[in-house]
Amino acid sequence: MDYRKWSIRALYLILIVLFLIYAYELKQWEVTKEFLTKFIEYENGGLPKLF
Amino acid sequence: MAEKSEKGKILRYRITILRTITQIMSFILIFGGVFGFASTLIVLPIMAPAGNPYTTVIGAWQLMELMLTAAIFPFLALAIILIGSITLGRTFCAWVCPFGFISDIVSYIGKKKWVPRKTNQSLFKFSVYVALFFLFIDFSIAYNQAIGRSIYSYFGEFYREPSSIIEPSTILFSLLFWYFYWGLYPQNLEALRNLINYSPFFWFRIIVLVLAIFINYYIPRWWCRWVCPLGGLMGIGAKYKLLKVYVDPKTCLGSQCGKCTRICPMGINVLDYVGRNIDNPLCTTCLMCLDICPYNAIKVKI
């Protein structure tokens, strides 16, 4: 058994659980929904204005 | 050594066909708003722009940038990147990512040029540096937002998603989408003169997009290999992913065959991995090597 690999995987798992708990506590899904439903112009850098 | 039956090429390339179908279905679902699908709350480890009104999911990289530049720590986006990285690795790049699908279409009709293995591997590091560079910018924007300093004068229109300047997925599905949706393109000869008045950023981004698409003709998925910041981040954890592709030394003919190495769209020398798992950070688990292997030497295992 590769202990190094499994310890890194365990570290990943701890981080994932912590991040998901914080994401849930801070209601980050609501922020995601906001980004997906409202008009976002931040990706349109350089877009010509209406002439 | 029993070679796979030559009967029926369709059956022989069954995984590639399945992958292409998955890519088409994913493309339809990601831009499902066109068919009336509502936005979901799904975050995927792919490059899916938020600026397109028809997208139903959001890419983890885009979400991470949008949150960071709003001075919100992106717990959700990071969790998705870590989950993807540790379970399936970069599988989403090959099976779901819409820009990856476009890259694949161009590379299928193209003529693949050989890139030296060392160059290919060293250039992967560039994508990690790209990710770190933009994360550094995002954190600096977040800091300035937090202390109430205006950063618009420094980053202009890119102050919320700095990486979108070089990110072909947002250029294609957001910038160009709105350009045509709002009818901003020249509709008569007189209007053609206005092309010269366009922002240099517009032309720069268009050049990036054209290069990102057409270089795939010679170097398949070159952008995914060497520039994609999300690919760079996901590749870091490739050694520890649970889904593995294994090359069986008992059945592999090694350099006498080498079909897997020649077909790999990410330019990985699969023969380097005989007798072990392909833990290369570039591997997207597209399984083209598994399809092409005449001796069934390549296996997927968990």
Hey, are the CB atoms on A22 and B75 less than 8 Å from each other?
Answer: yes
**Can you give the pLDDT at residue B158?**
85
Domain count, chain B: 1
Hey, are the CB atoms on A46 and B175 less than 8 Å from each other?
Answer: yes
Q: Report the pLDDT averaged over residues A3-8.
A: 88
**Can you give the pLDDT at residue B254?**
82
**Can you give the pLDDT at residue B224?**
93
Give A25 to chain B, closest Cα distance, Å.
10
Q: Check whether A51 has a pLDDT greater than 50.
A: no
Q: Report the pLDDT averaged over residues B4-29.
A: 80
Alpha-carbon distances of B211 from B214, B221, B297, rounded to whole Å: 5, 11, 36
**Angle ∠(A14,A17,A22) on CA atoms, nearest 5:** 125
**Can you give the pLDDT at residue B215?**
93
- The whole-chain average pLDDT of chain A stands at 86
Q: Check whether B9 has a pLDDT greater than 70.
A: no
| Global ipTM | 0.91
Confidence of residue B230 (pLDDT cuts 50, 70, 90): very high
Residue of A nearest to B168 (CA): A43
Confidence of residue B157 (pLDDT cuts 50, 70, 90): confident
**Can you give the pLDDT at residue B176?**
92
1-51 in chain A: CB under 8 A from chain B? 5, 8-9, 12-13, 15-16, 19-20, 22-23, 26, 28-29, 31-33, 35-37, 39-48, 50-51
Give the Cα separation of A24 and B236 in Å (integer): 26
Beta bridge partners of B44: B59
**Angle ∠(B81,B84,B89) on CA atoms, nearest 5:** 120
Question: Which of A12, A22, A42 to substitute to test the interface with B, most B CBs within 10 Å?
Answer: A42
Q: Check whether A50 has a pLDDT greater than 80.
A: no
Residue B25 structural domain: 9-227
Question: Which of B41, B52, B76 to substitute to test the interface with A, most A CBs within 10 Å?
Answer: B76
Asked if the structure places residue B162 within a domain, the reply is yes
Asked if the structure places residue B246 within a domain, the reply is no
Q: Which of B42-46, B156-160, B207-211 has the lowest mean pLDDT?
A: B156-160
**Can you give the pLDDT at residue B302?**
83
Confidence of residue B3 (pLDDT cuts 50, 70, 90): low
Confidence of residue B4 (pLDDT cuts 50, 70, 90): low
pLDDT tens for each residue of B55-85: 999 999 999 999 998 888 999 999 999 999 9
**What percent of chain A has pLDDT above 90?**
35
Confidence of residue B226 (pLDDT cuts 50, 70, 90): very high
Residue of A nearest to B242 (CA): A9
Question: Which of B72, B75, B164, B201 to substitute to test the interface with A, most A CBs within 10 Å?
Answer: B75
* Residue B181, φ and ψ in degrees, nearest 5: -60, -40
Q: Check whether B1 has a pLDDT greater than 60.
A: no
**Can you give the pLDDT at residue B199?**
87
Confidence of residue B11 (pLDDT cuts 50, 70, 90): low
Asked if the structure places residue B208 within a domain, the reply is yes
Give the Cα separation of B186 and A40 in Å (integer): 24
**Can you give the pLDDT at residue B10?**
59
Q: Which of B76, B194, B205 sits opposite A29 (nearest CB)?
A: B76
Q: Quick check: helix, strand or coil at residue A44?
A: coil
Residue of A nearest to B279 (CA): A5
pTM of the model: 0.89
Hey, are the CB atoms on A35 and B161 less than 8 Å from each other?
Answer: no
Give A9 to chain B, closest Cα distance, Å.
6
Asked if the structure places residue B269 within a domain, the reply is no
Hey, are the CB atoms on A29 and B41 less than 8 Å from each other?
Answer: yes
**Can you give the pLDDT at residue A45?**
83
- The whole-chain average pLDDT of chain B stands at 88
Q: Report the pLDDT averaged over residues B130-138.
A: 94
Chain A residues close to B174, C-beta within 8 Å: 40, 43-44
Q: Which of B75, B78, B160 sits opposite A26 (nearest CB)?
A: B75
Structure tokens at B287: 């399984």
Asked if the structure places residue B61 within a domain, the reply is yes
Q: Which of A9, A35, A37 sits opposite B63 (nearest CB)?
A: A35
Asked if the structure places residue B122 within a domain, the reply is yes
Chain B residues close to A19, C-beta within 8 Å: 75-76, 78-79, 82
**Can you give the pLDDT at residue B8?**
55
Hey, are the CB atoms on B194 and A48 less than 8 Å from each other?
Answer: yes
pLDDT tens for each residue of B88-127: 989 999 999 999 999 999 998 988 888 888 898 899 999 9
Confidence of residue A5 (pLDDT cuts 50, 70, 90): confident
List the end-to-end C-alpha distance of chain B, in Å, as a whole number: 26
